[in-house]
């Protein structure tokens, strides 16, 4: 690594570009998802998902989701950012923690936390959701934060990936027993990336979340972050990075986080299974605010970082109408939007949003998407109901 890069703090936000809509979007404060002001009120949703929705604060070793109707900050509180763990939440001592880089590298490396903090540091806004986030939980397995950490590609360049290497496996410290082919074995949580995917400039070994040291629940002291991908890629409690010439096929690569769907494969209808990787283009409405008879419909977008063309909102059988984007949105953050709903009539209404990216990909209705058996990757349009 170039010594001049050491410890240099880069803000990737600018370098990588923001969504095309950001520059021209209105900067009205109502776009910033603040807490409700005096005279503002949330209009309750009347759809079944909202009526059956339950929420709890974080509890150890438990899945946690946020109440998306209560989003009031651009950054999710660390105590409310979603949590899914499969093998518990190991207690790690920062002083004795080490990160090893091993396998098909010219130089095997070992970092203390202090040493890692002295490498090429980047800072980014990254929002993501669990591959299993769903309408049932109002898409609450989600969060958006400001992260700081070491650039993964610098670390890999320092190690020197050897000819013939194909994959990089990221092992967490969270370990449990799996039964595989009749044998109980201890396995660490692990995910792999191809060399190309691993070398993306955005990938980081994050040790800071919203200005705090990475909290215990979120993988203290260091987790991998792969911006634009579903959360399963972001291995927590990271302890080893291993370069190899074969494909890693542990449970979270080969068996879970694999989407089974029936779809058109080059003109042939086939059932296929694909790994859960980059986030699909998705929007959802999360709150409706009334203030002095004026209504605003607000929501979020998550995707793989491709710039957006538009977010539109439709009321009942009306036309699709453009929403405004929050000017704070960045390439890999969630993208918040707001739509002014003029003069709604009294009674129940159906609201839905759809997002389109600059490549012409459009968020489809559930019934337009391929038939799917596994529950991962729930990104169809999400109809909400409110009563005015």
Q: Which of residues 169-188 bind its own copies (CB under 8 A)?
A: 169, 171, 180-183, 185-188
- Minimum CB distance to its own copies smaller for 15 or for 272: 272
Q: Which of residues 235-274 bind its own copies (CB under 8 A)?
A: 240, 242, 244-251, 253-255, 258, 260, 262, 265-268, 270-274
CA 142-207-70 angle, 5° bins = 25
What is the C-alpha to C-alpha distance for residues 225 and 332, in angstroms, rounded to an integer?
Answer: 11
Residue 77 CB, shortest distance to its own copies, in Å, is 33
Residue 242 CB, shortest distance to its own copies, in Å, is 5
Place of tokens 């934060």: 145
What is the C-alpha to C-alpha distance for residues 74 and 334, in angstroms, rounded to an integer?
Answer: 9
Binding-residue pattern over the window 190 to 209 for its own copies, x denoting contact by CB under 8 A: x---x-xx------------
Burial class (CB within 10 angstroms; exposed 0-12, middle 13-18, buried 19+) of 120? buried
Q: What is the Cβ-side half-sphere exposure of residue 342, based on CA atoms within 13 angstroms? A: 3
Binding-residue pattern over the window 103 to 142 for its own copies, x denoting contact by CB under 8 A: x----x----------------------------------
The stretch among 7-15, 82-90, 96-104, 200-208 that binds its own copies (CB under 8 A) is 96-104
**How many chain residues bind its own copies (CB under 8 A)?**
49
Q: Say whether the peptide bond before residue 320 is cis (omega within 30 degrees of 0).
A: no
Q: Which of residues 39-78 bind its own copies (CB under 8 A)?
A: none
Closest Cα partner for 358 from 13, 12, 126, 18? 18
Rule CB under 8 A: say whether 331 interacts with its own copies: no
What is the C-alpha to C-alpha distance for residues 241 and 82, in angstroms, rounded to an integer?
Answer: 25
Q: Are strands 212-213 and 348-357 parallel, antiparallel or unpaired?
A: unpaired
- Measured in whole angstroms, how far is the alpha carbon of residue 373 from the centre of its chain? 22
Which residues of the shown chain bind its own copies in the complex (CB under 8 A)?
100, 102-103, 108, 166, 169, 171, 180-183, 185-188, 190, 194, 196-197, 240, 242, 244-251, 253-255, 258, 260, 262, 265-268, 270-275, 277-278, 373-374
């Amino acid at each position: 690594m170039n010594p001049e890069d050491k410890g240099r703090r880069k803000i990737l936000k600018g370098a990588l570009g923001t969504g095309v809509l950001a520059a021209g979007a209105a900067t009205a404060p109502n776009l910033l998802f603040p807490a409700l002001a005096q005279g503002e009120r949330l209009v309750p949703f009347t759809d079944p998902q909202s009526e059956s929705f339950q929420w709890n604060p974080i509890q150890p070793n438990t899945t946690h989701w946020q109440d998306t109707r209560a989003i009031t900050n651009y950054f999710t509180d660390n105590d409310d950012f979603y949590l899914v763990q499969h093998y518990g939440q190991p207690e790690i001592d920062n002083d004795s923690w080490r990160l090893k880089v091993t396998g098909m590298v010219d130089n095997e490396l070992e970092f203390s936390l202090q040493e890692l903090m002295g490498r090429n540091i980047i800072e980014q806004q990254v929002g993501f959701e669990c591959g299993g986030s769903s309408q049932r939980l109002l898409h609450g397995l989600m969060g958006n934060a400001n992260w700081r950490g070491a650039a993964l590609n610098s670390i890999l360049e320092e190690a020197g990936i050897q000819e013939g290497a194909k994959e990089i496996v990221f092992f967490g410290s969270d370990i449990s027993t799996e039964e595989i082919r009749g044998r109980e074995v201890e396995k660490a949580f692990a995910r792999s990336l191809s060399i190309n995917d691993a070398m993306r400039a955005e990938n980081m070994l994050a040790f800071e979340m919203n200005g705090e040291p990475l909290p215990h629940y979120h993988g203290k002291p260091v987790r991998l972050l792969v911006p634009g991908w579903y959360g399963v890629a972001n291995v927590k409690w990271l302890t080893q990075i291993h370069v190899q010439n074969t494909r890693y096929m542990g449970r979270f690569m080969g068996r879970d986080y694999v989407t089974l769907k029936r779809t058109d494969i080059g003109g042939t209808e086939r059932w296929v299974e694909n790994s859960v990787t980059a986030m699909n283009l998705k929007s959802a409405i999360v709150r409706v605010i009334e203030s002095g008879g004026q209504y605003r419909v607000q929501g979020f977008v998550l995707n793989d970082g491709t710039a957006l063309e538009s977010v539109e909102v439709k009321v009942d059988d009306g036309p699709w109408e453009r929403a405004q984007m929050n000017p704070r949105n960045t390439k890999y953050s969630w993208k918040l939007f707001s739509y002014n709903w003029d003069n709604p009539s009294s009674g129940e209404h159906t609201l839905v949003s759809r997002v389109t990216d600059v490549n012409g990909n459009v968020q489809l209705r559930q019934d337009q998407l391929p038939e799917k058996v596994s529950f991962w990757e729930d990104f169809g349009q999400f109809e909400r109901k409110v009563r005015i």
